[in-house]
Structure 1
Amino acid sequence: MFSSATKVKGQGVGSAYTELVQLLKKHFASDIDVQINKLSGSDISHYHTVDFKFYLSTFLPGRGRKIGYVHFLPETLNGSLKIPQPFRWFFSHYLIAFYKRMDQLVVVNPSFIDDLMSYGISKDKITYIPNFVSKNSFFELSKEEKRKLRKREGITEKKFVVIGTGQIQERKGVADFIELARRLPNIQFIWVGGFSFGKITDGYSDLKKVVDNPPANLFFPGIVERSKMNDFYNLADVFLLPSFNELFPMSVLEAFSCGVPVILRELGLYNSIINGYYLPASDVDGMELKVKELAGNREKLQKLHERALDASVKYSEDHLAQIWYSFYKKQTEMVK
């Protein structure tokens, strides 16, 4: 494994990488020897991030099959980071060059297969394997545990709570989340995450002003250790992600795993992976209606809770373990 994803906290790439490493060590410790960021010979070199030193390593002997994890494309950087020209042009070309150095690419959303093909990458070199989360890390607490958790955090049992998570940036739709808090003052809103990339974050100046002085019903706890995220999901009645652009957000899977009903901005790329498991909304007005609808109808909230748990089974660690093992086995056979 080659990755620097965990150096920057609060981003989904690091979560996906951590989950996969833990899965392999838990399920296949006797079959797969996992080494991290080492240049010793291997059957497979799996690149999770596109560091230049990793790109250079692909030219060294003994790399085996080179696997690239596609967590983003040049166009998905829009709304995330402020990268001025000509650096944006250079990075976009470098990113595709990195992907083309791979023997096989893994995408977490099938909608990105066509995008990669448009860059001249053969479909035969692309495999779809969805993200997943472990029930050991994200799970629903009992009603009594939730009650104690709310008491600890100073939130009453009857207060309706909406949570969002991720980096604070324009692409994540945080401005709409803030607007919802302003429109619905009787509902508690919590956004867990921060400015992982500091001042180069797109929309930093405007968003920072609100983070420093939020509405009374909006709480920004900042970047939280992943080990503590389970508590935040269990505080919530609804998870809402107003993001404008995603691949397969880990935060949605984490919410599903905790049984939290999910509202998402209506994006076409969700249709092939989680359609039917969440409530879609096209804009902030639609999100407002959905939140009000669920806040006033416990029966609908319960049905969405059940859908979330169904989705968590489909994208569970146990379900994906064999898929990853078969994929790696096939790659090693191609080396031989």
Structure 2
Amino acid sequence: MLTINMMSQAESVAGQGVGSAYRELVNLLTKYYPDQLDIRYNEFQPADITHFHTINFPYYLAALNWRRRGVKVGYVHFLPHTLDGSIKLASPVQWGFKHYLLNFYRAMDHLVVVNPVFKDELVKRYGFDADKITYIPNFVAKSSFYKMSEPHRLAARQENGLAADDFVILGVGQIQKRKGIDDFIQLALDHPDIKFVWAGGFSFGKITDGYETYKAVYDNPPANLTFAGIVDRDKMNALYNMADIFLLPSYNELFPMAILESFSAQTPVMLRDLDLYHAIIEDDYIPAVDREDMDKWLIEFKENPKRLEVYVDKAIAASNFYSEDRIAGLWLDFYQGLVADKEK
């Protein structure tokens, strides 16, 4: 049995995809491999593999000085340039944090990325060794995110102040510039006949890039735009189900958990058509180049809702591809391979 020590503070701040990804992974491994993997949490003790999910400074010191740590694995949830538009710090502090992030990754024996595009970024932009980077995609459990019955879907709408015949657009994520929240707000202003709901808040507080501007809209939104705030994860399935379209207008991402959650709930997904999506979910979503494109799609689907049925089918297919069974096997093979290589 392999000992895997999970080092994480991902759930200490609500409303982050990192926390969702961490919880899904530990639940998966404990469910599938109780006799093969001994999962431990935040123990500064010897282990076959120490898996760092977050970049807390005590973890960095442990990675540098801990002699019996086994193989050190770093989970790459973001890169230095993806922080732009998320948090806003004084320039020297921002530069220092980005430098620290790269040093943390370099202290690892191996890195895991959730998108193959970011493996290329690490190699070409930051000089990491490609042989020490593995791509393993995110996933979500179908027991948590699934298609609800029509009565339950309508009940979810009623609980959120929506009518049965409303055309509903859902956005999910922290309220920050990088997430494309400006376009989401403008779309709501441009389409008063469509209901928009954004689930997420200010997880980084006042250091969120554009905080004052977004907080003003958050406190006084257009009549057809609802900010639901940070929603407990066990209540998110109802939000995906009540929506006609899940829209994520982000300018840069890794592999958002919200996309997989929407797929699993069989809700059509519309995304800003970023290159990184082409490598993982090409043809599974409604592609929009910019806000004008999103605008056209919304008009089209509101007038012809049956056209969304093809994207329901695509959501189902994508959800099946990123299944628990397949991803669980990838993680077991990965861990076993690392230990075998170290023993050699």
Under TM normalisation by the shorter chain, which class is it?
A: over 0.9
Is the CA contact 1:147–1:157 (under 8 Å) kept in the aligned structure 2? yes
State the partner residue of 1:79.
Answer: 85
Deviates more, 1:164-173 or 1:88-97: 88-97
Q: What's the CA shift for 1:32?
A: 0.4
How far did residue 92 of structure 1 move?
Answer: 1.3
Please give the residue correspondences for 1:232-251 in structure 2 after superposition, counting only pairs within 5 Å: 232-251=239-258
Structure 2 counterpart of 1:121, from 116, 122, 128: 128
Relative to the length of structure 2, the TM-score reads 0.96
Residue 26 of structure 1 aligns with an amino acid whose one-letter code is K
Partner of 1:158: 165
Q: Which blocks of at least 5 consecutive residues in structure 2 are unaligned?
A: 1-5
2:262 corresponds to 1:255: yes
Question: Are 2:343 and 1:320 equivalent residues in the alignment?
Answer: no
Name the counterpart of 1:279.
286
1:61 pairs with 2:70: no
Instruction: Note if contact 2:156-2:239 (Cα within 8 Å) is conserved in structure 1.
Output: no
Q: Which runs of 5+ in 1 are unaligned?
A: none
* 1:220 partner SS: strand
2:99 is aligned to: 93
In the TM superposition, what whole-angstrom CA distance separates every residue of 1:93-131 from its partner, at most 9, and x where no partner exists?
111111111111001111111211132211000100111
What is the CA distance between 1:68 and its match in structure 2? 0.5
**Aligned equivalent of 1:44:** 49
In structure 2, what is the equivalent of residue 185 of structure 1?
192
d(CA) in 2 for partners of 1:153, 1:15: 23
Residue 10 (1) aligns with residue 12 (2): no
Separation of aligned partners in 2, 1:270 and 1:325: 25
SS at match of 1:151: helix
What is the CA distance between 1:150 and its match in structure 2?
A: 2.1
Amino acid at match of 1:171: R
Give the fraction of aligned pairs with identical amino acids, expressed as a percent.
52
- Distance, in Å, in 1 between the alignment partners of 2:142 and 2:180 is 28
Q: Return the letter of the residue paired with 2:200.
A: G
Q: How many residues align?
A: 336
Structure 1 segment 162-177 matched on structure 2, within 5 A = 162-177=169-184
One of 297, 301, 323 as aligned partner of 1:294: 301
After the TM superposition, which parts of structure 1 deviate over 6 Å for at least 4 consecutive aligned residues? Answer: none
Q: Which one-letter code corresponds to 1:86 in the other structure?
A: P
Shift of 1:196: 0.4
Measure how far apart 1:151 and its partner are. Answer: 2.9
**Corresponding position: 1:34 with 2:39:** yes
Aligned partners of 2:220, 2:273: CA distance in 1, in Å? 29
Q: Which of 104, 118, 122 in structure 1 is aligned with 2:110?
A: 104
